[in-house]
């Protein structure tokens, strides 16, 4: 069995003449590169390439030509010890794109090797990018390291989800051992707008401390980065509260951030979706159009 890298022509159709094979590696090494462009008012997936089991479904247009929706698939369904995943997305000037995932991402228990994921998102002047993956589930005993780097240029606008679930709650599993490191950085024109780093240890008493997670197993951020964050948007988001757990909304220069801490991934997802529905018309000028995959 071999892992394949398939490059795509600018028209989005696969080109068999540029398909390359590389020896199968175990653990998986997988890369996905996507580029979106504005062509006469239509946002198109103008380039895509992948190595290994990390792909994007065909472009979708549930709200017309202006916004190109996509679903990122990782067929192994989870990240195991030693895996290395890389996702790079470039959204060109005036293009609009939305990416999500079909379900929760999973970080599996490791026998000793660290799994790594690098996500780099570049959004050009006048573009709008919505990065809305479903939650990441960290199994007991997982060893993981992930970095998300968002680079904005000029008047680019970004809306994103960053949601984590420690342990498999439906099975009564807790994150009692293992390690997860997560870094998030947002820049505009090369200057930091937001940077956060978390290092979670399964045995760390700070997970239960009030100054830490307070014993919560689900936590995360809803983020909006735009040149201007209207006070009315902040007020509207603060008026919406999660059905379970705690939620808080803060405004920083060029950034709105809503934080969740609680025990329900579903409550967190629903709250983030509600905040997105509030923010999107103001930030992106369009009513919310939830991806159909969220209902399956």
pTM here is 0.89
What secondary structure letter does DSSP report for 60? B
Q: Give the N- to C-terminal CA distance of the chain in Å, as an integer.
A: 31
Average pLDDT over residues 211-223: 92
Q: Sign (positive/negative) of CA torsion 257, 262, 266, 270?
A: negative
C-beta neighbour count of 15 within 10 angstroms: 12
pLDDT at 8: 36
Q: What is the pLDDT of residues 238-296, one digit of tens each?
A: 999 999 999 999 999 999 999 999 999 999 999 999 999 999 999 999 999 999 999 87
7 CB-near residues (< 8 Å, 6+ apart): 15, 18, 19, 20, 48, 49
Where are the domains positioned within the chain? Answer: 2-295
Average pLDDT over residues 114-119: 97
Which has the minimum average pLDDT: 66-75, 94-103, 203-212?
203-212
Average pLDDT over residues 152-162: 98
Q: Answer yes or no: is pLDDT of 142 > 50.
A: yes
> pLDDT above 90 covers what percent of the chain?
79
- Distance CA(248)–CA(6), nearest Å, equals 43
């Amino acid at each position: 069995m071999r892992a394949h890298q398939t490059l795509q022509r600018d028209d989005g159709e696969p080109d068999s003449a540029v398909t390359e094979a590389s020896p199968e590696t175990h653990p998986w090494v997988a890369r996905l590169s996507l580029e979106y462009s504005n062509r006469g008012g239509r946002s198109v997936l103008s380039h895509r390439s992948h190595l290994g089991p990390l792909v994007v479904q065909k472009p979708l247009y549930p709200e017309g030509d202006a916004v190109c929706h996509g679903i990122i698939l990782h067929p192994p369904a989870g990240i195991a010890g030693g895996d290395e995943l890389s996702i790079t997305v470039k959204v060109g000037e005036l293009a609009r794109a939305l990416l999500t995932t079909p379900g929760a991402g999973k970080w599996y228990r490791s026998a000793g090797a660290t799994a790594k994921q690098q996500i780099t998102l570049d959004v050009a002047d006048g573009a709008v990018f919505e990065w809305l993956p479903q939650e990441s589930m960290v199994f007991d005993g997982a060893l993981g390291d992930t970095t998300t780097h968002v680079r904005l240029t000029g008047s680019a606008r970004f809306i994103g989800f960053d949601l984590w679930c420690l342990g498999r709650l439906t099975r009564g599993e807790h994150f009692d051992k293992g390690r997860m490191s997560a870094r998030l950085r947002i820049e505009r024109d090369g200057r930091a707008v937001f940077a956060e780093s978390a290092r979670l240890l399964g045995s760390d008493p700070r997970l239960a401390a009030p100054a830490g997670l307070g014993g919560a197993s689900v936590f995360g951020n809803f983020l909006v980065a735009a040149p201007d964050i209207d006070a009315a948007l902040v007020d509207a988001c603060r008026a919406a509260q999660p059905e379970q757990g705690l939620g808080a909304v803060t405004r920083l220069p060029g950034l709105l951030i809503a934080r969740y801490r609680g025990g329900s991934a579903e409550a967190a997802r629903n709250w983030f979706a509600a905040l997105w529905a509030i923010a999107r018309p103001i930030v992106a000028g369009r009513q919310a159009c939830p991806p159909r995959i969220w209902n399956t």
